[in-house]
Amino acid sequence: MRAALRRYEREHMNVSAGLLFIGAALLEVGGDAVIRKGLRNGSLFLILTGFIMLGLYGVVVNTVNWDFSRLLGVYIAFFAVVSVVFGGLVFQERVPMTTWIGLIVICAGAMLIQFGAARGL
């Protein structure tokens, strides 16, 4: 019974962490994009809005109660995927195959960090 409860808590935390990471990545990538647009258009309002979004990213990502290195090691994969997709959709950038391959490597590293830690590797 105790093992089942621990497994449920671990799985629930992973889903919660994933959702928080997606939100944090959207804030970080979106904040960077808003600042970029503000710098290119000379808009102090956009720059300040992006600055606030980046601050909120820092709060959201740190609500996951993991060791700092594990937290950011896993978060990086979410950030990388969101940033590449955002660049393609929002900025209409062509994403080369090498970038997609790189994302696979980054995600594999994040999985090693996440699941390796759970198995004591």
Full-model pTM: 0.79
**Interval 11-47: pLDDT, tens:** 556 778 889 999 999 999 999 999 999 999 999 999 9
For 64, counting Cβ atoms within 10 Å of its Cβ (0-12 exposed, 13-18 middle, 19+ buried), the class is buried
**Interval 79-99: pLDDT, tens:** 999 999 988 898 899 999 999
Q: How far is CA 10 from CA 3, 39, 48, in A?
A: 10, 42, 38
pLDDT of residue 3: 61
